[in-house]
């Protein structure tokens, strides 16, 4: 299969050029100022072509909570948001603590055919906070990250042992930094303590540690200081909502929305290269569950627009830097041949219109989760078309069709 994308501004982490991109057999075959081919052609005049986005942290609720989301609806929401690779957390029902569940998710993703999905296995068996015996059965060709996201691991020894096993197996420990006991009194202190603890354990064990949804000034400062000392086995992510919203927005997420000073410190750390990735923590819920207090935002469809509006339009970072945070570095963390527009890479791409202003309307979400505090907010930057291995998997005019 061949595809030619013409007349686009090509932007990734280090490119800003005008031209055409030729795709053959799912790979980027050529990049030139002008290419002529007798094949299917997409004219992207006036649009920007970027590497599609890679989400290191999302919840599709399948198996067990498919009334909130399933692999199909989550995949459709992903491509609408410009994502073609998503790493899913293990807090499903049953908890993903075995390869059987991993294979189920992989089979569903392959059948649907819109995105690549990586399924995390839980750090502790059933997320019980203590049992690690199941880790020995992980097949590392399919599983790259382990995570108890949704729950912090309280026991220091359990986390130490988990990191030791992860180091031996070449796995990344994806850490939800929350001490639940302290969180009931002080969520900020809870995140800060667990961030420092996990950093210290990662220093000792040498395992690859990825810290989820950093939200406080103190936590990001601890990460910055660690990186400045040369510990390159530690990476971190921030979410779109934690860099766009503050605690004056009455909306429940975990970790909570923080103060303006926290947002400023997160953006500064991101600007100066201490944040590795922007990950959505896409957390779809039913209206009933949200009313009962379930924390989370359905955010994968609005992520690019939020980040462009909060970071690029304001002048904090360039679009090149945003591409690095949403595509290149996440691809590097996961060991993927994606995230850059270069010859030989997977042709996972996205066409965006940065001049387009949109008003967030959750009724148009393809996700089952309509839970967002952004309803009615005006944002800049819209995903117009998403390509997976050179195949169009989303285009704006077709969003109401069954992909």
pLDDT tens by residue, 216-271: 999 999 999 999 999 999 999 999 999 999 999 999 999 999 999 999 999 999 99
What pLDDT is attached to residue 156?
97
Q: Could you tell me the CA-to-CA distances from 250 to 253, 254, 344, 372 in Å, in that order? A: 10, 13, 46, 11
- Smallest CA-to-CA distance from 213 within 58, 360, 85, 47 is with 58
User: Would you state the pLDDT for residue 403?
Assistant: 33
CA distance linking residue 326 with residue 307, whole number of Å? 9
Cβ-count burial 352-373 (b if 16+ within 10 Å, e if not) = bbbeeebebebeebbbbbbbbb
Position 400 scores a pLDDT of 38
Give the Cα separation of 299 and 81 in Å (integer): 9
- Give the chain's mean pLDDT: 97
Convert the pLDDT of each residue in 74-122 to its tens digit. 999 999 999 999 999 999 999 999 999 999 999 999 999 999 999 999 9
Residues ≥6 apart with Cβ < 8 Å to 184: none
70 is catalytic: no
**pLDDT score, position 397:** 73
**Distance of alpha carbon 94 from alpha carbon 132, whole angstroms:** 17
Cα–Cα dist 208/203, whole Å: 9
Six-digit token string for 361 = 């309307």
Residue whose pair of structure tokens reads 């996205």 in the numeric block: 350
Alpha carbon distance 322, 300 (integer Å): 15
pLDDT for 398: 43
Nearest-angstrom CA–CA distance, 278 and 54: 9
**Can you give the pTM of this predicted structure?**
0.96
- Cross-strand pairs, 58: 88, 282
The ranges of the chain with pLDDT < 70 are 398-403
What is the spatial distance between Cα 130 and Cα 312, in angstroms, rounded to a whole number?
43
Out of 62, 276, 281, 353, which one is annotated catalytic?
A: 281
Contact 148, 127 (CB under 8 A): yes
CB atoms within 10 A of CB 394: 30
Phi, psi (rounded to 5 degrees) for 230: 95, 10
Per-residue model confidence (pLDDT) at position 327 = 98
Q: What is the pLDDT of residue 39?
A: 96
The 3-class SS string of the chain reads CEEEEEEEEEECCCCEEEEEEEEECCEEEEEECCCCCCCEEEECCCCEEEECEEEEEECCCCCCCCCCCCHHHHHHHHHHCCEEEEEECCCCCCCCCCHHHHHHHHHHHHHHCCCEEEECECCCHHHCCCCCHHHHHCCCCCCCEEECCCCCCCCHHHHHHHHHHHHHHCCEEEECCCCHHHHCCCHHHHHHHHHHHHHHHHHHHCCEEEECCCCCHHHHHHHHHHHHCCCCCEEEEECHHHHHCCCCCCCCCCCCCCCHHHHHHHHHHHHCCCCCEECCCECCCCHHHHHCCCCCECCCCCHHHHHHHHHHCCCCCCHHHHHHHHHHHHHHHHCCCCCCCCCCCECCEEEEEEEEEEECCHHHCCCCCCCCCCCCCEEEEEEEEEEECCEEEEEHHHCCCCC
Q: Given this model, what pLDDT does residue 195 score?
A: 98
Per-residue pLDDT at 348: 98
């Amino acid at each position: 299969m061949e595809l030619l994308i013409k007349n686009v501004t090509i932007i990734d982490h280090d490119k800003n050029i005008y031209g055409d991109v030729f795709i053959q057999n799912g790979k980027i075959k050529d990049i030139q100022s002008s290419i002529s081919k007798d094949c299917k052609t997409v004219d992207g005049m006036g649009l920007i072509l970027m590497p599609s986005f890679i989400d290191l942290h999302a919840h599709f609720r399948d198996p067990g909570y498919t009334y909130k989301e399933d692999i199909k609806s989550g995949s459709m929401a992903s491509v609408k948001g410009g994502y073609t690779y998503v790493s899913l957390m293990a807090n499903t029902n049953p908890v993903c603590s075995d390869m059987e569940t991993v294979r189920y998710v992989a089979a569903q993703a392959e059948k649907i055919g819109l995105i690549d999905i990586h399924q995390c296995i839980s750090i502790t068996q059933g997320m019980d906070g203590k049992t690690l015996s199941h880790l020995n059965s992980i097949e590392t060709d399919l599983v790259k990250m382990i995570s108890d996201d949704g729950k912090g691991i309280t026991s220091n020894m359990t986390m130490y042992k988990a990191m030791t096993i992860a180091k031996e197996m070449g796995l990344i420990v994806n850490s939800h930094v929350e001490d639940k006991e302290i969180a009931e009194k002080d969520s900020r202190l809870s995140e800060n303590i667990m961030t420092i603890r996990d950093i210290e354990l990662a220093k000792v064990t040498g395992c690859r540690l990825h810290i989820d949804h950093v939200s406080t000034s103190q936590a990001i400062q601890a990460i910055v200081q660690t990186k400045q000392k040369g510990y390159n086995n530690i990476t971190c992510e921030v979410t779109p909502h934690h860099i766009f919203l503050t605690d004056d927005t009455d909306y429940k997420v975990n970790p909570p929305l923080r103060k303006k000073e926290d947002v400023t410190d997160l953006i500064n750390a991101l600007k100066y290269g201490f944040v590795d990735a922007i990950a959505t923590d896409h957390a779809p819920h039913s209206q009933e569950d949200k009313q009962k207090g379930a924390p989370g935002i359905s955010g994968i469809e609005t992520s690019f627009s939020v980040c462009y509006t909060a970071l690029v339009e304001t002048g904090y970072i360039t679009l090149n830097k945003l591409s690095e945070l949403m595509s290149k570095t996440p691809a590097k963390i996961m060991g993927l041949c994606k995230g850059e527009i270069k010859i030989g890479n997977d042709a996972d791409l996205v066409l965006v219109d940065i001049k387009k202003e949109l008003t967030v309307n959750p009724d148009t979400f393809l996700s089952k989760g309509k839970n967002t505090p952004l309803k009615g907010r005006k944002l800049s930057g819209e995903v117009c078309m998403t390509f997976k291995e050179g195949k169009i998997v989303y285009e704006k005019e077709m969003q109401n069709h069954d992909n």
